[in-house]
Amino acid sequence: MSSTETKPERLEGWNRPPVIVPDGEGELLEVAMGPHHPSTHGVFRMDLALDGERVVRLKPVFGYLHRNHEKIAEQVSYLASMPYTDRLDYICSLTNNWAYALAVEKLAAQEVPERAQYIRVILAELTRIQNHASSIGFLIQEMGASGTPLMYAFKEREKILDLFESLTGSRMMCNYMRFGGCRVDVSAAWLDATRKVVAGLPAFIDEFEALLSSNEILMARTQGVGILKPDLAVNAGVSGPMLRASGVNYDIRKVDRYGIYDRFKFRVPLGDHGDVYDRYMMRVLEMRESIVILNQALKEIPLGPIMDPKAKIRGFRPKPGEAYGRIEAPKGELGFYLVSDGGPNPYRYRVRPPSLINLTVLEDMCLGQNVADVVLIFGSVDIVLGEVDR
């Protein structure tokens, strides 16, 4: 078989141009990986075409968890969608809350009091730490170290979730932010407990790193695997730690300076190679920077109101217009685009899901890699299906 010979008949149902078999030695093997594969982080399917062990095509199939979040949000009032944003990326409900509140505040020109801004930063950075910790845990799990590293990550995550629970009443579905502030005030005791947890975090990350960062198996499995070039990353709309792992200096906390992020000193870690190892490293370093932000915020948090007294809860009807608000969520750029026609519910409500858009480059990263590495590369993207399918 010549190297350019095509096999259109095998790929009929895919509605795709035919695959070119590179070596022409064997036949292509089509594998539907998922939607119930344990490594797919939920119900997600990848249609793979394999040449031996190598991937020659990968097509993600979405929609198993689709419940048309946007349509539902367009049928209820603005505030009624707030608890539902928790269910998008259910690992980081507080940053989802913040992104939505930010967009609505932009749409209705609302102010947020000082103390509420600090609370938001503290909660968002705690969310970032627990998201990165668990995503690294899952990544190592997918490398074959079942259980133990994930439990190390979850041990620390549990402490942060306890803080969330004592403040908001729920570990994961927090429903905490409101347009123009927050739902309940933090107590001095809660702040002390948070300081205690944050003080223990560097030791946890040190331990994590001592076990993992120079681990031979981790290095062998992740270095040089799933390389993403910076120009493709930018063109494909990749955001968050994945973009920065490719060496692109773009952190929305630094660029937009939403909330009060202009007050804190922190660095933006950047990767060099854009491989799975860099993505792992980015998350470790971002956790460290989050601790830096947390220490500053916990020291400076002022007393004062947590809700804008002028904020209208009942009968909230923003003036006609539109707004796009975005934040640096742990997984990337999370944006909400809202169009108001002056009514009590949004005319158009759109979530810009970082998890979905970061998957645009999944095929590019996996082509030519071994099928065993697909699991790793996919894990290093760090997605949550609740946000991908909405």
- Residues in contact with another protein by CB under 8 A are 15-16, 62-63, 66, 68, 70-71, 106-109, 232, 234-239, 248, 250, 255, 318-324, 326, 333, 335, 337, 339-340, 347-348, 350, 352, 356-357, 359-361, 389-390
299's tokens: 């020291």
Q: What is the side-by-side strand order in the sheet with 348-352?
A: 321-329, 332-340, 348-352
How near is the Cβ of 89 to another protein at its closest, in Å?
Answer: 16
Nearer to another protein, 134 or 358 (CB): 358
Nearer to another protein, 47 or 156 (CB): 47
Give the separation between CA 151 and CA 158, rounded to whole angstroms: 10
How near is the Cβ of 200 to another protein at its closest, in Å?
Answer: 36
Nearer to another protein, 145 or 357 (CB): 357
How near is the Cβ of 203 to another protein at its closest, in Å?
Answer: 36
How near is the Cβ of 124 to another protein at its closest, in Å?
Answer: 19
Nearer to another protein, 136 or 334 (CB): 334
55's tokens: 């991937």
Give the number of other Cβ atoms within 10 Å of residue 144's Cβ. 11
How near is the Cβ of 63 to another protein at its closest, in Å?
Answer: 4
Q: Considering Cα of 268, then 215, then 384, then 237, what sign does the dihedral take?
A: positive
How near is the Cβ of 343 to another protein at its closest, in Å?
Answer: 13
Give the separation between CA 269 and CA 106, rounded to whole angstroms: 29
Q: How far, rounded to the nearest angstrom, does the alpha carbon of residue 3 sit from its chain's CA centroid?
A: 40
Nearer to another protein, 137 or 241 (CB): 241
Nearer to another protein, 60 or 181 (CB): 60
Phi and psi torsions of 383, nearest 5°: -120, 165
